[in-house]
Amino acid sequence: MVDDDLWALIEPLLPPWPQRSPGPKPVDDRRCLQGILFVLHQDIAWQLLPLELGFGSGQTCWRLLERWKRADVFDRLHRLLLSELNAAGELDWSRVCVDGSHIRAKKRGAATGPSPVDRRKTGSKHHLICDGRGTPLHVITTAANVNDITQALALVDGVPSIAGRVGHPRRRPDSLLGDKAYDSKAVRQELRRRKIMPVISRKGIANIKGMGKLRYVVEQTFALLHQFKRLAVRWERRLDLHDALVSLACRLICWRRLSRQRARSAVRSYAGQL
């Protein structure tokens, strides 16, 4: 079920139903979102979405997902959630972490290729940047054989401007942490030009001491992302539909963090009144 508080954030962002659309509106937007979440969590085929649950057909759900993706609903929701987390002091701007994770692509499609870690099976790769506490800031999907280094600057530049604090919205962290896959003189120069300190292990020498303890959050975020069973293996041929599901999953991770922060604040407020 879609949480009432979460729906209160999403509903104003949804585009209105087209007046000249043929036929009546098939299913309520909230019910369609519940159907999309059911597929995302349970990893069933769209055509097998049970009609008795009242979510509408799988075709109705994925068409609405496509429509919301075109309207940037999930991007606007992401900025809204990140702004609230930033206002609550839940974003760690001292560092961001970047990494990539392979998934198998069963039906091929755009942004797929032979995986170098899966016996050249067709796959994709999720490139992720998160803050120092593991909050996802941006995700890019590429073919499995794309090197991590090629997406480093795209990840940094893809971080949205985040309000919530006094002053201009922020989008640049103090430092970027990466493993040896991101070792590049050009990348280091571009990061410094953006006033970001690169903390990247160099090839041929030992890893920076303590790097693993600082970078574990990105692996944790990948684990949370791939707990959504539909994302552990890619089934969508169309890249836009797959990216829409990835975006929705990241927004749910942010919402869970915000919900926990609100719960802690409510407990502290109640304790202060005793």
Same domain as 167, residue 214: yes
**Does a structural domain hold residue 260?**
no
Rg (CA), the chain: 20
Q: To the nearest whole number, what is the mean pLDDT of the chain?
A: 91
Domain assignment of residue 226, yes or no:
yes
Domain that holds residue 115: 92-234
Selection from 251, 246, 261, 207 nearest residue 85 by Cα: 261
Q: Mind listing the pLDDT tens digit for each residue in 108-164?
A: 999 999 999 999 999 999 999 999 999 999 999 999 999 999 999 999 999 999 998
Task: Give the three-class secondary structure for 148.
Answer: helix
Query: What is the predicted pLDDT for the residue at 129?
Result: 97
Residue 84 lies in a domain: no
Residues 115, 39 share a domain: no
Same domain, 201 and 133: yes
Q: Which of 265, 271, 274, 272 is nearest to 84 (CA)?
A: 265
pLDDT tens per residue, range 214-228: 788 999 999 999 999
CA dist 21 → 24, 58, 142, 241, 266 (Å): 8, 19, 34, 22, 44
Are 112 and 228 found together in one domain? yes
What lies within 8 Å, CB to CB, of 97 at 6+ separation is 129, 130, 132, 176, 177, 178, 214, 215, 217, 218
Same-domain check for residues 64 and 99: no
224 and 96: one domain?
Answer: yes
- 271 CB contacts (<8 Å, ≥6 apart)? none
Using CA atoms, how far apart are residues 63 and 82, in angstroms rounded to an integer? Answer: 27
Domain annotation covers residue 250: no
pLDDT tens digits, residue range 153-194?
999 999 999 998 888 999 999 999 999 999 999 999 999 999
CATH number for the domain spanning 108: value is: 3.30.420.10
Same domain, residue pair 200 and 137: yes
